[in-house]
Amino acid sequence: QQQVKQSPQSLIVQKGGISIINCAYENTAFDYFPWYQQFPGKGPALLIAIRPDVSEKKEGRFTISFNKSAKQFSLHIMDSQPGDSATYFCAASNLYSGGGADGLTFGKGTHLIIQP
Amino acid sequence: KAGVTQTPRYLIKTRGQQVTLSCSPISGHRSVSWYQQTPGQGLQFLFEYFSETQRNKGNFPGRFSGRQFSNSRSEMNVSTLELGDSALYLCASSSSIRTYEQYFGPGTRLTVT
């Protein structure tokens, strides 16, 4: 059972354009939604994350939009640059009130290519 | 601060053997999680250790085990290796306060022949 569905699998965007990656989740207990960026030969790097109490979070050129009722969230990369070319993963987790959290459930990843 | 370090970076083993992978978390981080990354299944959670205790476990067979030491360093062991265990094994650490913010190491590439 794939609990986090990510699309598209691959994406090509022109330099300066907006890259949009979408994720949908099934488990309503999820309450933490991070995005990770992974370059070849490297481990995933935490990019930005959101909790369900807000509908949008922006950090620099990266924005997460969150729709709780639709159980969907997306990553927008503004002014996309060739250096943004990487694989992006959405993830979700359930946080415990006493501290701690479930392991991250990841989407399958999006291979993003920014053409110069 | 130094990041998460994993050793070895590459490993080749034969089917039926066992393997131990090591992870040193970011200084001050007490939680260590392990993930398996394969082209087919993607990133999957194996288990999490906090203060030397396994706090969470994913859906993997008992051949996969781990432990954590008093200095928060962690090891992962896979016994009776199968060809399907070939993968990138990633370790992630997080602080006690923000356990959900996981910071990944570069991984250990395991090839089983």
pLDDT (tens digit per residue) in A21-51: 999 999 999 999 999 999 999 999 999 999 9
Residues of B whose CB is below 8 A from A104 = 33, 35, 43, 45, 102
> What tokens does A102 get?
């479930």
Per the CB < 8 A criterion, the answer to whether A112 and A13 are in contact is yes
Give the mean pLDDT of chain B. Answer: 95
Handedness of CA A44, A84, A18, A63 (dihedral sign): positive
- Is residue B40 scored above 80 in pLDDT? yes
Chain Cα centroid distance, residue B22: 7
Closest by Cβ to A32, choosing from B35, B96, B100: B100
Give the number of C-alpha atoms closer than 13 A to the C-alpha of residue B80, restricted to the C-beta side: 3
- Is residue B68 scored above 80 in pLDDT? yes
pLDDT digits (tens, 9 = 90+) for B1-32: 789 999 999 999 999 999 999 999 999 999 99
pLDDT score, position B2: 82
Closest by Cβ to B50, choosing from A100, A105, A109: A100
Length of chain A: 116
- Phi and psi at residue B96, to the nearest 5°: -70, -30
Biggest alpha carbon–alpha carbon distance for chain B: 41
Cα–Cα–Cα angle for A102, A103, A107, rounded to 5 degrees: 120
pLDDT digits (tens, 9 = 90+) for B78-103: 999 999 999 999 999 998 788 889 99
- Phi and psi at residue A31, to the nearest 5°: -140, 20
- Phi and psi at residue A82, to the nearest 5°: -55, -35
Alpha carbon distance A31, A91 (integer Å) = 11
B38 touches chain A (CB under 8 A): no
pLDDT score, position A112: 98
Residues of A whose CB is below 8 A from B48 = 103
pLDDT digits (tens, 9 = 90+) for B69-84: 999 999 999 999 999 9
Asked if the Cβ–Cβ distance from B104 to A93 is below 8 Å, we say: no
pLDDT grade, residue A95 (50/70/90)? confident
Per the CB < 8 A criterion, the answer to whether A72 and A4 are in contact is no
> What tokens does A54 get?
């807000």
Which is more confidently placed, A96 or B40?
Answer: B40
